[in-house]
Amino acid sequence: MKKDTSRRSFLKKATLGSAALTATPFIATASPYNQKIILEKSYDSYSFAANDQIQLALIGSGIQGIYDTTAALKVDGVKLVAACDLYDGRLDRAKELWGNDIFITRDYRKILERKDIDAVIIAAPDHWHKKITVDALKAGKHVYCEKPMVQKFEEGQEIIKAQETSGKVCQIGSQGMSSLGNEKAKQLYEDGAIGDIVMLDMQNNRYSAEGAWKYPIPPDANPDTIDFDAFLGKAPKTPFELKRFFNWRNYQDYGTGVAGDLFVHAFSTLNHVISSHGPNRAFSTGGIRFWNDGRDVPDVNISLYDFPKTETHSAFNAAFRVNFIAGGNSESSFKLTGTEGSMDIGSNSVKLTRSKLGMNPSGYSLIAHTEATQQKIKDAYSALDLETRTSDLNTGSTTWEAPGDYKGGHYDHFYNFFQAIRGKGKTIQGPTFGLRAAGAALLSNESYYKRQPVNWNPTSMKLI
């Protein structure tokens, strides 16, 4: 993409009005900007016979596994036939949600042995992602693996190889990836709407125990109802502890902290919107500021990233901030800022703001000069015509929003996954994409625990 050409194209479209920017209808229009536009989404319609259903199994029937499966089953032609979890109470919940006829087991390998299962959702703890994903692909199953794709940098290449060898579809589950918001943001960026990117700001603030990953422990949880040894897997052996099982995100042995849970979403969106491979340097700081509950991952984290110049974007910086004790502020945001504007991106909306760049001196810098000198300076700048009428016209803000009946980015991500399985489309977050998003996020952990900046090759996906 040639940025200068794209920028001129965008400016030309903008002066013609918003209808040139999108084929969808718009409301509240008063000028090319300061308006709201309703996005549209269409889906292919099919009817499926009973023998043409995609037979789905869930591995890890916890919080995210239930949300994933609920979204997946809204797609036509999909049937859940099995569920796996290491806690009996979750298997009971699976039957409660999806029927007594589904097959349940504690052993995911029994899921992979079944010939009637076409695809699996893997929503196990992070330290199990690589092992189960590779085993599932080798067993001939299509895989939807929750983000982050890997817990360790070195695990990614094995998944990439297993997917290529198997020929099966493997999609990484960052649920906002296929959303209308991301789709529109990518179009606007490629049209040159914000010029050259200079900064990304991402923040996620929370102010609740639940938001800080302190999940309730059920009263029937005990060594008989939980296979704790299987949960540990490759992790260091430790005595039975309910907190580690139900609140595993709080421990390095099983999770990836705020970076793997939250930064990876932002990197997925960013890499998709601007067609980037990711950053090449990171520095992270933070600490456990409030939730002193035995966790060994920070509850407050600030990470800074450097992105190198590529064919699709300029060199720029990114700041990621997470605060799990945010003093009542539970806001989250994702803002791309460029040389000519900014975009606030969400799954269901994009707000584009374009402002006039002040090139002429104002009263602040003129005050040190005599009145006569001030006038001469003003006349000289005026002759340069640095602030044109065109730049005045193309300012303001436009918001694109999903319609009220939009099925959501989570649905869209599964819709794309199942379409790819049926040979009717492609995923946008395969294993290579997944490793680049996870790898960039994991740089934060690498820097945080080493207490120093770290370098990364975003193309080869290796630490330097």
pLDDT tens digits, 50-81: 788 999 999 999 999 999 999 999 999 999 99
* Residue 430 counted as domain residue: no
Which of 152, 173, 194 lies at the terminal end of a domain, its last residue?
173
pLDDT score at 256: 98
Which CATH number does the domain housing residue 66 bear? 3.40.50.720
Instruction: Specify the pairing of strand 316-323 against strand 342-345.
Output: unpaired
Residues 135 and 256 grouped into a single domain: no
pLDDT score at 328: 79
Which of 173, 195, 230 lies at the terminal end of a domain, its last residue?
173
pLDDT score at 32: 53
Q: What's the rounded Cα separation, in Å, for the pair 245 and 228?
A: 7
Query: Coil, strand or helix: which one is 7?
Result: helix
* Residue 423 counted as domain residue: no
Q: What's the rounded Cα separation, in Å, for the pair 181 and 199?
A: 19
Residues 264 and 304 grouped into a single domain: yes
Residues 155 and 243 grouped into a single domain: no
Residues 253 and 395 grouped into a single domain: yes
**Which residues of the chain are modeled with pLDDT < 70?**
1-33, 388-393
Residues 99 and 36 grouped into a single domain: no
- Show the domain range for 100: 50-173
Nearest 5°: the CA angle 161, 272, 456 is 60
pLDDT score at 10: 59
Could you tell me the end-to-end alpha-carbon distance of the chain, in angstroms, rounded to an integer?
A: 29
pLDDT score at 27: 32
b (16+ CB within 10 A) / e for 140-152:
ebbbbbbbbbbbe
pLDDT score at 34: 72
Q: What is the pTM of this model?
A: 0.90
Which of 123, 143, 173 lies at the terminal end of a domain, its last residue?
173
**Count of domains observed in the chain:** 2
Residues 82 and 22 grouped into a single domain: no
pLDDT score at 14: 52
